């Protein structure tokens, strides 16, 4: 059958049950979408209203006092925005770069040395550590790093902790991507041409991992940028606060200015949202790159 004949052939009739199932699936997905984006929409429609308008009718698109931008400069001044933004940027960029570099190199060594027992044991330990919840480690973490080593209240400590907690999942994702998508023949050809192992990894293997790198970068960057629990345990001085910790200055004992909170939340989510929009086309490819062996 030619291509034109195949295109002209009538399509098989779709059963009523299939149509109903398809409709139910679409309806469930729409409901889930609305549930996910509802908090974001609430932030958007309330950030341009006064505190009184938000308290009187939080679902109204425009309050009685009209559209206002006063929440943004007030929120930025109260939370010392540029300082906490710089702290979040330093921690997020540094931790993401270190996680990507160390995880990619570790996964490459483990995949290309299957007979190395220590590598296999380390990889098994990494996979096993992913099931341990962070809350279990909170008290020992503060006791050891604060009481014994006295290294808390430091951005470097927070960066290294972020790397330590995220390197297992990242190595696992790189492991699957290298094993299934990087042919060993390329590295053998490079070795014949005199390329060292170091140059082979950075000039041949790592560029082929671009979708996986984009995926792990956006996943880790979002986690580091939005994390509240770990920075609240590590950072005690106000000049070291990251954006999530700084937002708690808006919550008073007897009252909370919701308008300032909404403005701070919007300012906090914008950088990571822009990063996601730039890298979103690589995310799906990166997640599925290690799923199917071609």
CA dihedral (123, 221, 218, 197) positive or negative: negative
CA atoms within 13 A on the CB side of 287: 7
Shortest CA distance to 250 belongs to which of 135, 64, 84, 90? Answer: 84
Digit-coded pLDDT (tens) for 39-50: 888 888 888 888
In this structure, the chain runs to a length of 294
Domain boundaries, the chain: 20-68, 72-291
Whole-angstrom Cα Rg for the chain: 25
- pLDDT value at position 236? 85
CATH number (3.40.1790.10, 3.40.190.10, 1.10.3720.10, 3.30.70.890) of 72-291 reads 1.10.3720.10
Digit-coded pLDDT (tens) for 74-99: 888 888 889 999 999 999 999 999 99
> Across-strand partners of 251?
256
83 C-beta neighbours (distance < 10 Å), count = 14
Reported confidence tier of residue 294, pLDDT bands at 50, 70, 90? very low
Average pLDDT over residues 180-199: 86
Distance CA 113, CA 111 (A): 6
8 pLDDT above the threshold of 60:
no
How much is the pTM? 0.79
3 pLDDT above the threshold of 80:
no
Digit-coded pLDDT (tens) for 269-282: 888 888 878 777 77
Reported confidence tier of residue 287, pLDDT bands at 50, 70, 90? low
Q: What are phi and psi of 251, to 5 degrees?
A: -95, 105
7 pLDDT above the threshold of 60:
no
21 pLDDT above the threshold of 70:
yes
């Amino acid at each position: 059958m030619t291509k034109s004949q195949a295109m002209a052939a009538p399509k098989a009739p779709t059963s009523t049950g299939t149509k109903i199932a398809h409709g139910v699936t679409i309806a469930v997905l729409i409901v889930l979408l609305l549930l996910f984006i509802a908090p974001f929409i609430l932030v958007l429609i309330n950030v341009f209203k006064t505190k009184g308008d938000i308290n009187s009718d939080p679902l109204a698109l425009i309050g009685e006092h009209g559209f206002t931008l006063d929440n943004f400069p007030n929120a930025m001044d109260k939370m010392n925005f540029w300082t906490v933004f710089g702290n979040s940027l330093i921690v997020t960029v540094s931790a993401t770069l270190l996680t990507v570099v160390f995880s990619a190199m570790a996964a490459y060594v483990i995949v290309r040395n299957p007979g190395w027992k220590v590598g296999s044991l380390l990889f098994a330990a990494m996979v096993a550590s992913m099931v341990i919840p962070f809350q279990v480690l909170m008290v020992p973490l503060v006791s050891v790093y604060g009481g014994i080593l006295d290294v808390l209240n430091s951005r470097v400590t927070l960066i290294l902790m972020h790397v330590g907690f995220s390197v297992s999942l990242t190595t696992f994702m790189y492991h699957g991507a290298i094993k299934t998508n990087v042919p060993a023949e390329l590295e053998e050809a490079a070795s014949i041409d005199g390329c060292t192992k170091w140059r082979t990894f950075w000039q041949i293997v790592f560029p082929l991992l671009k979708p996986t790198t984009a995926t792990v970068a956006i996943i880790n960057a979002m986690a580091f940028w939005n994390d509240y629990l770990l920075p609240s345990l590590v950072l005690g001085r106000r000049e070291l606060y990251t954006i999530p910790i700084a937002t708690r200055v808006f919550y008073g004992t007897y009252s909370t200015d919701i308008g300032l909170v909404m403005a701070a939340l919007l300012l906090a989510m914008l950088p990571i949202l822009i990063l996601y929009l730039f890298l979103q086309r690589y995310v799906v490819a990166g997640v599925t790159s290690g799923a199917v062996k071609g």
